[in-house]
């Protein structure tokens, strides 16, 4: 009937309008999806393997510094200025400094001028010397760590450099019992099926060994490469021109996202995905495996170990916090008593 025809046409118009709306929303959704270039924009720039020395490396170096004071007088972290700033975060020191200022002013205090000032200066000096000694030991420890030897592949041969000179893109050879100089992707392992075992006690306190595995496509590429009798590992020369694109530096110890691209002549091979099981973190040690090869991706302050390190601020105990509140209360009561007595007098 005519009414049925009108109802059918009305349903058809609604369906067409709904379909057009869905198509429009789908187009908007597709436009909001990141393109390949945008997706790689929030990732670390591709890392070329077998890095030439003349290549501009805009990443941070591999030297680390855990000391917090400087010996340069005009620096913000000069030991005297910064240490005094930290010590006067204690309410007791501020309180006794205020008392000392009142005592120094003639006619304001019945006590001696330097009764409080001399003990305060003595306490501040002893604390400064103690903090300076501890900071010096940290500086010495940093120097020893940054000067440890590491074996890297450069100019077609294995050379020994200091940890501070290891750079992003270097291929490192690590032997059993050695620590990893930087965060790196596992390329080859002497273990069965490309497996190796690491100890992460310096990272998470766990002493049990954790397995790490070589990405399948990378491990298979080393099967046809003979082992160098002197180095005890195969040459990574065939990976020249490959690159790794990965996430930006972060503090997530158990997460990693990235991929490795290899070329065969002019042909681009499929991407090899990289996960946390393919990554060796700085601070961990190689165990139960003769040797491994790793590609450096994060160095120095960009490494996950340093990203998880505690900031070098002045530590305050719970006792200091309680004491600060109590001294503030005493100071407030003294002010109130002084005002009341002055009004009454």
Percent of the chain with pLDDT strictly greater than 70: 81
Instruction: Read off the pLDDT of residues 82-107 as tens digits, 9 standing for 90 and up.
Output: 888 888 888 888 888 988 888 888 87
Give how far the C-alpha of residue 80 lies from the chain's centroid of Cα atoms, to the nearest Å.
Answer: 28
Flag whether pLDDT at 221 surpasses 90. Answer: no
164 exposed, middle or buried (CB, 10 Å; 0-12, 13-18, 19+)? buried
Name which residue leads in pLDDT, 172 or 229: 172
Share of the chain above pLDDT 90, in %: 25
How many whole angstroms separate alpha carbon 292 and alpha carbon 177?
11
Burial class (CB in 10 A: 0-12, 13-18, 19+), 299: buried
pTM of the predicted model over 0.75: no
Q: Give CA–CA dist 186/166, Å, rounded.
A: 16
DSSP string, 79-117: HHHHHHHHHTTSHHHHHHHHHHHHHHSTTT-SS-TTTTH
Q: For residue range 243-253, list pLDDT tens digits in order.
A: 888 888 888 88
Catalogue the long-range contacts made by 325-331 (C-beta closer than 8 Å, 24 or more residues apart). Answer: 325/91, 327/91, 327/92, 327/95, 328/91, 330/95, 331/91, 331/95
Q: Is the pLDDT of residue 19 over 60?
A: no
Contacts of 134 (CB under 8 A, 6+ apart): none
Spacing of C-alpha 9 from chain mean position: 64
Query: CA–CA separation, 329 vs 272, rounded Å?
Result: 64
Could you tell me if 261 and 48 are in contact, meaning their C-beta atoms sit under 8 angstroms apart? no
142: tokens are 């940093």
pLDDT over 60 (residue 224): yes
Distance CA 301, CA 4 (A): 74
State in Å, rounded, how far the first CA of the chain is from the last one.
107
Question: Do 237 and 156 meet the contact criterion of CB atoms below 8 Å apart?
Answer: yes
Would you say the C-alpha torsion 175, 138, 167, 207 has a positive or negative sign? positive
pLDDT of residue 162: 94
């Amino acid at each position: 009937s005519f009414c049925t025809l009108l109802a059918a046409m009305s349903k058809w118009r609604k369906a067409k309008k709904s379909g057009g709306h869905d198509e429009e929303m789908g187009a908007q959704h597709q436009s909001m999806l990141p393109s390949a270039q945008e997706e790689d924009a929030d990732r670390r720039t591709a890392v070329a393997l077998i890095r030439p020395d003349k290549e501009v490396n805009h990443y941070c170096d591999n030297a680390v510094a855990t000391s917090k004071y400087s010996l340069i007088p005009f620096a913000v972290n000069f030991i005297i200025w910064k240490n005094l700033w930290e010590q006067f975060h204690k309410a007791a020191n501020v309180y006794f400094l205020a008392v000392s200022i009142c005592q120094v002013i003639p006619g304001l205090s019945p006590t001696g001028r330097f009764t409080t000032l001399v003990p305060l200066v003595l306490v501040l000096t002893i604390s400064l010397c103690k903090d300076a000694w501890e900071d010096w030991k940290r500086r010495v420890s940093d120097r020893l760590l940054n000067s440890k030897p590491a074996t890297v592949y450069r100019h077609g041969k294995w050379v020994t450099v200091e940890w501070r000179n290891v750079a992003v893109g270097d291929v490192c050879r690590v032997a059993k019992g050695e620590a990893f100089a930087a965060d790196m992707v596992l390329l080859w392992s002497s273990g069965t099926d490309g497996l190796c075992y690491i100890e992460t006690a310096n990272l998470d306190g766990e002493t049990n060994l954790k397995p790490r595995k070589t990405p399948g496509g990378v491990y298979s590429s080393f099967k046809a490469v003979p082992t160098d009798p002197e180095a005890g590992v195969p040459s990574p020369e065939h990976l020249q021109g490959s690159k790794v694109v990965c996430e930006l530096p972060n503090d997530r110890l158990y997460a990693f996202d990235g991929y490795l691209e290899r070329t065969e002549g002019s042909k681009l091979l499929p991407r090899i995905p990289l996960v946390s099981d393919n990554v060796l973190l700085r601070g961990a040690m190689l165990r139960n495996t003769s040797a491994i090869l790793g590609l450096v991706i994060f160095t120095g302050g960009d490494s996950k170990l340093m990203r998880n390190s505690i900031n070098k601020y002045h530590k305050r105990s719970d006792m200091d916090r309680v004491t600060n509140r109590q001294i503030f209360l005493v100071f407030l009561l003294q002010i109130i008593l002084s005002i009341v007595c002055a009004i009454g007098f």
